[in-house]
Each structure stands twice: as C-alpha cells, then as structure tokens.
Structure 1
Amino acid sequence: MKTAKLVLGIISMVLCLFVIFQSCAAGVSNTLEESGEVSGTAGLMVAICMLAAGIIGVVTRNSSGGGAFTAGGFYLLAAILGFTNAGSYTDLNIWAGVCVAFGLVFIIGTLVERKRKQN
C-alpha cells in the first residue's frame, strides 16, 4: 500500500498542473461570456486540494496514522467542490471523479492496513 500511496500522490501532483491550466482557460471563458459561473475558480480550488493531498500522501505514506485520512479528506473535499461547481467546465466532473477514487484508495487502504496489523 505504501507504493500505491506514493504513486497516487505523484500522479495527483502532476494532474494538478493539467487542472490548473484547464481552470485558467475555463475562468477566462467564463469571464468573456459573462456567464456568472465560477467553474474556473472551483477548478483552481480542486487543483490546490489535489496538490495538498498528493504532498500529504507522499510524505505520510509510511505511517498508518492520520496522514492518509487527511489526504483522503482533501481528495473528497476536492471532489465535492468539483461536482458542485462544474458548470460549463465539464472536465471538472472527470477530475472530481479521479479525486473520489484517490480519496477512497487512501481511506480504505489505511483501514485495511490497520486491520491487518491488528490480526
């Protein structure tokens, strides 16, 4: 599980860059269309949460403490922000889905590790 946390954390940090660039484009599009949507800003918040979760996941991959739950919480927060504010930036739904998957891996993986250590 330590390797999976490391890989997911690194993937998350790389994907963060793609989300940032897309969010900037969506924000410019929202401004030019004067649509009143906040999907570009929500995308930036999703990217920041993904970056924070990725860093926390990589740093705390060797511990079975609260670090993995914190990373999972950031991923789930990013997913909530993404799903609720997607608007015309429909790729944000995809990134939110990725965040749900990563968050569940971190949380469920840590719970499984704890059960194994108890037995």
Structure 2
Amino acid sequence: MEVLKFEKGPKAVGPYSSAVKVGNLIFFSGILPINPETGELVNDSVENATEQILKNLNTMLSEIGLSLKNVVKTTIFTVKLEEFSKINEVYQKYFESFTKDFPARSTVGVSSLPKGALVEMEFVVEA
C-alpha cells in the first residue's frame, strides 16, 4: 500500500490518508466540499458543494496524471437526498467533460456529515 499525498486539494480533517494506492487502484477517502484556498466549507447549496468536491478530486487526480475518466466507482453521501437531482446534474456535467462512460455509483442519504457538510463523496480510481 502506498499513501498518496497531494500539494493541492483539501487536507485530511482527521487521522486518515486522503488516498491510498493498492496495485492499480486508488481509494480516495470521503472528500468534503472544502475550498482548499480558504479552508472554508462550501455549503450554500448542494450544487455548489458537489461542484467543489469534483473540482477537488480533479485537482488531486491531475497531480498524479489522471482525470475523472479514471474513476471507476463513486459513493455519494448527502443530507439532502430530496435534492439528489441537483447533485446528479452537476455530477453528470463534470464527468461528461471527460468521458461518455460513467463510473459505477451509489448514493446514500444520511442524517449528518463531518463539519456539517451537505455532501461528501468517496472514489475508487484506476491508475
């Protein structure tokens, strides 16, 4: 197992690694919608939160020569499951700019998330 460290993107908010590589798979821990430049949570809407998460992931992937087309599995956690269609619109827009083939995905409605976030996502990526 190799622990990956990123210069850009949000830092871990606890005792865990942002991502680990095992073989040709990279497992990203849950990414919150944190603006890495300000350290502030983007939480004004599920659309903006989703966009920030995908920007963060794309920034981290680009550091290691990959893109959203390398994502094979996404898990979405949201406290606003009733607004899933809004999350889905942003998600679709981001992935379509890299690939026509979407990764496998699960979505889970939860009662709360770390730091009071509206959305959190974790990813499995093929290197």
TM-score (norm 1): 0.31
Greater relative contact order: 1 or 2 (C-alpha under 8 angstroms, separation 6 or more)? 2
Larger Rg: 1
Q: Hey, which of these two has a bigger chunk of strand by percent?
A: 2
Q: Hey, which of these two has a bigger chunk of helix by percent?
A: 1
TM-score (norm 2): 0.29
